[in-house]
Amino acid sequence: MASFGPLPLGRRRIQARVLVLYRLRPERLAALLPAGLAPRLLHGHAVAAACYTRLEPVLPGTRAQGSEHLAYRFAAARSDGTPTGFVARRATSSWLEARCSRLLRGPQGRARFACSADPFALELAVQGDEGEEFYLRGEAAPAPRAALFAHPHELSEFLAAEEEVQPHDVFAPEADQLELAEGFAPEPLCAFEVRSRFLSSAPFAQDEIELDSAWRLVTRRQVRSPARRASFRMLPERPGTAPLFPTS
């Protein structure tokens, strides 16, 4: 989820990455993983993530557009203990990447992405062929509200330990690299709304997977604003938008 080998066809800079983490029972994940992989546990939990990535075009400065991606990933390990990420599902905004992935590696769905973010607020909506695929709305938080990671450094270490991704796809974001030395920083988010069609349907049930935390991963710290925008102060007051994580 953090550091990967460079794309052979041309390095693409990661402009944004967001992780929404979930906890699930190890035996549930073990039944989903392919042969040769086992759940990589943290505090007795298996770990799943909805991972959003926005990439620059292969040739920055041209009229070509970058691409956006959503992947459902599970923390796993090979039989020799090598930390490995297993991707169960992918979606991309690029029709070319989706088609090439189908030809070379298997299905990668097309989706429409709408992401709005500033130093405080973030809203991400992903629409697939069958309707809403994923939705997140939240704000920057001073500290994580999580059972898996008590501090951003713990998340950084967990992500940096992952050495490979299966199945590998040269057109997917894991073929690019997020430089940990360039100010890589997980920033916790307080989530007000999170919905995932994939993680709320079979083989996952309401009691099989639990939302843990949300994070925005940046290659440099967000610029501080002298004051919060008044319009965003009102965001949590919308009807039915109580925080999904405790506030005290």
- C-alpha distances out from residue 44 to 24, 93, 162, Å: 9, 35, 18
232 domain-assigned: no
- For 219, list phi and psi in degrees, rounded to 5: -85, -10
Cβ 14 vs Cβ 184: under 8 Å: no
The pTM score is: 0.77
Task: List the domain range (segments joined by +) for residue 205.
Answer: 14-220
228 domain-assigned: no
The CATH number given to whatever domain includes residue 109 is 2.40.400
- 213-239 pLDDT tens trace: 999 986 654 444 444 454 444 555 555
Q: 137: closest CA among 119, 114, 121, 113?
A: 121
163 domain-assigned: yes
pLDDT on residue 75: 94
Domains held by the chain: number: 1
201 or 12: whose pLDDT is higher? 201
- 85-125 pLDDT tens trace: 898 888 888 766 655 555 445 556 788 999 999 889 999 99
**Window from 7-11, 29-33, 48-52, 146-150 with minimum mean pLDDT:** 7-11
- 187-197 pLDDT tens trace: 999 999 999 99
Task: Give first-to-last CA distance, the chain, whole Å.
Answer: 29
1 domain-assigned: no
Cα–Cα distance measured from residue 236 to residue 232, given in angstroms and rounded to the nearest whole number: 8
Q: How many CB atoms lie within 10 A of CB 133?
A: 23
